[in-house]
């Protein structure tokens, strides 16, 4: 056999191994959530193929008053984070493309500085400010979805800007110049032409910041302790030894991620994400 | 009296350490077809972009209709531009592309539709008006870009090598059509190209750009007949102009067709050795070298043997002065 005919099977074996690596934890989660307890944590050698299925954990989890309000809180926060990331990120990224590459790279890098600080160290001053600022903002900032979202933006926004700068820079310069000559203001050029053309990058930044918020724990537990997000509720359940409900919750956390990824995948292609990394 | 449409004074553009344009000045009359001719990398596109306001000059002013627009944004200048890449909006259909400049000016919907259709008709693309940009050919793209430029009433048209992406045959017909449209509209065109055939067939006036400034501004025929510098004589024409030193301070310059091949021994004839021959249709171009080592290109009706010695006499020539440092310039 020559090397070429071996290449294809080798690719599939590699893909299968990689798939297993990512999917097996999800499968264990599925077993915990949907298999009767005696075959999972009640068993010394749990079977990999479930002998029976049950919905009782899910029913318990869903009927628990613990779930609905944290789910709402998580969703609300994630959408605010995604929305602000685009609202602020798009003009910021466009502005950066107007600067010299050197200056723009320096600024982009500096944006990531907040990511290098431990979240704990930033959270405490943020909480202090939120409590004193809260009275000026309807609904307050401390323990609110908006307050939590603004804190999470510290992580999401630098990434969003980074992706969007790459997306805008990959567009031909002539197009923008043409729109300006054709009478479009900078604002209209950006929103009628550049944003639609960079929709892959826009979708990617929204998805990424949404997911960052959905998965975020430190800010969530510190800034929103009274009305917690789903992540925090799962943590509470696990620490109380309530593994089965946690598994069902964890699955519920995973579902929106899959739905969103499927919805946005048509905008997501490798080359769109590498735009910011090349050149 | 003709008025001045576009006036540029002392325009300078520097990229890093490289001076692309230095102290360039220019006047384009209303209704004129002005061609900026120059080799690649001489800053032709940069010049056009500064007329459009896409790039800012480091020094100098740009005036359109007598009004200083140097600091105006491109969307405030009322100009139309066609890029070499056509720069069509890929997220819109042909119609959307043509209508875009009108929509930006907030015209009523009916007027937009009608004007766009008229422009499409003028360029014979009304049958593809509902096609996506990605589905049309290169020649059609060029027409869409042109339709988008003429759809409104700009005060000035800027065209950056709009024909160079077309194949030879389409380019030839597009050239004729462009000239027709310019005449029909009676508008001022500034057209950038490195192709002297385009300059010859389109231009009322040609500006030859070299080393960041116009070396000569004149009708094409005049540039061909009386190139102001040796460099232009070399650059313009299918074959470079011949230059033969006359004395210490001057050279004579002549086009291949200004010389005649004569019988050996004719009075006042010069002899040269044939080194190679190029045939264009019925005409033979003979590349010869004189005894002094100077190369000359001659035009003849019949082929000569390579290596043979011929004699030629020059019927018409220009005299060029040779200052110590500068390029040789025409003595008129």
Write the DSSP string, B165-216.
Answer: TS-HHHHHHHHHHHHHHHHHHT--EEEEES-HHHHHHH-SEEEEEETTEEEE
Q: What angle do CA B47, A171, B112 make, to 5 degrees?
A: 75
Residue percentage of chain B with pLDDT more than 70: 97
How far is Cα B64 from Cα B30, in angstroms, rounded to an integer?
10
CB of B111 less than 8 A from some CB of A: no
Q: State chain B's mean pLDDT as an integer.
A: 90
Mean pLDDT of A27-39: 83
Q: Is a pLDDT exceeding 90 seen at residue A65?
A: no
- For residue A182, give the H/E element and its range: none
pLDDT digits (tens, 9 = 90+) for A192-212: 999 999 988 898 899 889 999
Sheet strand arrangement including B4-15: B18-29, B4-15, B59-64, B67-68
Q: To the nearest 5 percent, what fractions of chain B are helix, strand and coil?
A: 30, 35, 35
- Domain A67-240+256-274 - what CATH class? mainly alpha
Q: Is a pLDDT exceeding 80 seen at residue B298?
A: yes
How far is Cα A275 from Cα A171, in angstroms, rounded to an integer?
10
Q: How far is CA A26 from the centre of its chain?
A: 18
Mean pLDDT of B38-55: 92
CB of B16 less than 8 A from some CB of A: no
Closest Cβ opposite residue A182 in set B73, B91, B101 = B101
CATH, domain B4-225, list 3.30.43.10, 2.30.30.30, 3.40.50.2000, 3.40.50.300: 3.40.50.300
Q: CA of B91: which chain A residue's CA is closest? A: A197
pLDDT confidence tier of residue A137, bands split at 50, 70 and 90: confident
B324 CA to chain A: closest CA distance, Å? 42
- Pick the residue of B90, B104, B192 with the most A CBs within 10 A to test the interface with A by mutation: B104
pLDDT digits (tens, 9 = 90+) for B219-248: 999 999 999 999 999 999 989 999 998 888
User: What pLDDT shows up at residue A262?
Assistant: 76
Is there a contact between B279 and B303 (Cβ–Cβ < 8 Å)? Answer: yes
How far is Cα B28 from Cα A150, in angstroms, rounded to an integer?
56
Q: CA of B83: which chain A residue's CA is closest? A: A174
Q: What is the DSSP letter of B93?
A: B
How far is Cα B172 from Cα B201, in angstroms, rounded to an integer?
10
**Residue B139: exposed, middle, or buried by beta-carbon count in 10 A (0-12, 13-18, 19+)?**
middle
Taking CB atoms and an 8 Å limit, are B80 and A181 in contact across chains? yes
- Which DSSP string corresponds to A221-265? HHH-SSS--HHHHHHHHHHTT-HHHHHHHHHHHHHHHHHHHHHHT
User: What pLDDT shows up at residue A2?
Assistant: 55
**Residue B113: exposed, middle, or buried by beta-carbon count in 10 A (0-12, 13-18, 19+)?**
middle
Q: Is a pLDDT exceeding 70 seen at residue B324?
A: no
CB < 8 Å to B101, chain A: 182-183
pLDDT confidence tier of residue A272, bands split at 50, 70 and 90: very low
Q: Is a pLDDT exceeding 90 seen at residue B168?
A: no
pLDDT digits (tens, 9 = 90+) for B172-192: 888 888 898 898 888 999 999
Give the closest residue to B149 by CA, choosing from B199, B86, B91, B203: B86
Domain boundaries, chain A: 67-240+256-274
Closest Cβ opposite residue A184 in set B75, B81, B158 = B75
Closest Cβ opposite residue B87 in set A178, A183, A188 = A178
pLDDT digits (tens, 9 = 90+) for B59-111: 999 999 999 999 999 999 999 999 999 999 998 999 999 999 999 999 999 99
User: What pLDDT shows up at residue B328?
Assistant: 67
User: What pLDDT shows up at residue B128?
Assistant: 93
Top-confidence residue, A272 or B53: B53
Mean pLDDT of A54-63: 80
The CATH number of the structural domain formed by B239-331 is 2.40.50.140
> What was the ipTM of the complex prediction?
0.83
User: What pLDDT shows up at residue B122?
Assistant: 86
CB < 8 Å to B141, chain A: none
CB < 8 Å to B81, chain A: 177-178, 181
The SS3 of residue B92 is coil
Taking CB atoms and an 8 Å limit, are A181 and B85 in contact across chains? no
Sheet strand arrangement including B242-245: B242-245, B250-254, B318-321, B329-331
pLDDT digits (tens, 9 = 90+) for B16-26: 888 999 999 99
User: What pLDDT shows up at residue A35?
Assistant: 85
How far is Cα A198 from Cα B90, in angstroms, rounded to an integer?
11
Q: In angstroms, how far apart are the furthest CA atoms of chain B?
A: 79
Taking CB atoms and an 8 Å limit, are B87 and A185 in contact across chains? no
Q: CA of B90: which chain A residue's CA is closest? A: A197
A175 CA to chain B: closest CA distance, Å? 5
Q: Is a pLDDT exceeding 70 seen at residue A268?
A: no
Taking CB atoms and an 8 Å limit, are B52 and A181 in contact across chains? yes
Residue B178 neighbours by CB distance under 10 Å: 23
Taking CB atoms and an 8 Å limit, are B87 and A172 in contact across chains? yes
Residues 158-197 of A with CB under 8 A from B: 172, 174-175, 177-186, 188, 193, 196-197
Give the closest residue to B141 by CA, choosing from B193, B89, B205: B89
Taking CB atoms and an 8 Å limit, are B73 and A188 in contact across chains? no
The DSSP bridge pattern shows strands B189-193 and B156-160 to be parallel
Mean pLDDT of A171-189: 92
Domain boundaries, chain B: 4-225, 239-331
Top-confidence residue, A276 or B59: B59
Closest Cβ opposite residue A180 in set B54, B89, B90 = B54
How far is Cα A220 from Cα A231, in angstroms, rounded to an integer?
8
Instruction: Read off φ and ψ for residue A61, nearest 5 degrees.
Output: -65, -45
Cα torsion A12, A13, A14, A17 to 10°: value is 120
CB of B80 less than 8 A from some CB of A: yes
């Amino acid at each position: 056999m020559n090397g070429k005919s071996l290449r294809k099977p080798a690719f599939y074996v590699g893909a299968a191994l990689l798939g297993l690596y990512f999917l097996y934890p999800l499968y264990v989660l599925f077993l915990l959530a949907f298999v009767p307890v005696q075959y999972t944590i009640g068993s010394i050698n749990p079977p990999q193929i479930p002998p029976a299925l049950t919905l009782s954990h899910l029913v318990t989890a869903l009927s628990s008053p613990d779930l609905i309000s944290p789910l709402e809180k998580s969703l609300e926060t994630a959408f605010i984070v995604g929305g602000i990331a685009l609202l602020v990120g798009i003009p910021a990224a466009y502005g950066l493309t107007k600067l010299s590459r050197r200056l723009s790279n320096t600024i982009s890098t500096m944006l990531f500085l907040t990511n290098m600080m431990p979240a704990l160290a930033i959270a405490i001053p943020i909480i202090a400010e939120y409590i004193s600022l809260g009275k000026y903002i309807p609904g307050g900032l401390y323990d609110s979805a908006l307050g939590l979202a603004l804190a999470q933006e510290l992580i999401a926004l630098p990434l969003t800007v980074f992706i969007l700068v790459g997306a805008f820079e990959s567009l031909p310069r002539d197009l923008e110049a043409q729109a300006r000559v054709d009478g479009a203001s900078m604002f209209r050029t950006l929103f009628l032409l550049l944003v639609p053309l960079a929709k892959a990058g826009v979708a990617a930044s929204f998805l990424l910041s949404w997911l960052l918020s959905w998965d975020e724990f430190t800010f969530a537990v510190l800034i929103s302790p009274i009305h917690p997000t789903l992540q925090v509720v799962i943590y509470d359940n696990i620490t109380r030894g309530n593994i089965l409900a946690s598994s069902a919750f964890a699955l519920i956390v995973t579902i929106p991620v899959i739905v969103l990824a499927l919805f946005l995948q048509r905008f997501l292609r490798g080359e769109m994400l590498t735009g910011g990394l090349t050149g | 009296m003709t008025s001045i449409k576009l006036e540029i004074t002392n325009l300078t553009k520097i990229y890093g350490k490289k001076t692309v344009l230095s102290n360039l000045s220019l006047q384009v009359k209303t209704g004129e077809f002005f061609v900026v001719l120059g080799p690649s990398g001489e800053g032709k596109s940069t010049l056009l972009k500064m007329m459009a306001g896409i790039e800012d000059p480091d020094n100098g002013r740009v005036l359109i209709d007598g009004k200083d627009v140097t600091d105006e944004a491109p969307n405030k200048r009322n100009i139309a531009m066609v890029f070499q890449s056509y720069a069509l909006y890929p997220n819109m259909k042909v119609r959307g592309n043509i209508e875009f400049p009108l929509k930006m000016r907030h015209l009523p919907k009916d007027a937009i539709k009608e004007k766009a259709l008229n422009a499409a008709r003028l360029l014979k693309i009304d049958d593809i008006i509902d096609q996506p940009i990605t589905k049309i050919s290169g020649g059609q793209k060029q027409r869409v870009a042109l339709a988008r430029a003429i759809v409104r009433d700009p005060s000035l048209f800027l065209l950056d090598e709009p024909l160079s992406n077309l194949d030879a045959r389409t380019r030839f017909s597009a050239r004729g059509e462009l000239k027709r449209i310019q005449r029909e509209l009676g508008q001022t065109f500034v057209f950038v190209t490195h192709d002297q055939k385009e300059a010859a067939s389109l231009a009322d006036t040609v500006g030859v750009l070299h080393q960041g400034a116009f070396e000569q501004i004149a009708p094409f025929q005049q540039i061909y007949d009386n190139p102001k510098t040796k460099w232009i004589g070399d650059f313009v024409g299918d074959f470079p102009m011949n230059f033969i030193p006359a004395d210490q301070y001057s050279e004579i310059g002549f086009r291949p067709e200004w010389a005649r091949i004569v019988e050996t021994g004719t009075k006042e004839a010069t002899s040269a050795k044939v080194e190679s021959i190029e045939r264009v249709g019925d005409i033979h171009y003979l590349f010869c070298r004189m005894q002094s080592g100077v190369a000359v290109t001659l035009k003849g009706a019949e082929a000569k043997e390579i290596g043979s010695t011929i004699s030629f006499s020059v019927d018409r020539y220009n005299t060029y002065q040779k200052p110590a440092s500068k390029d040789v310039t025409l003595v008129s």
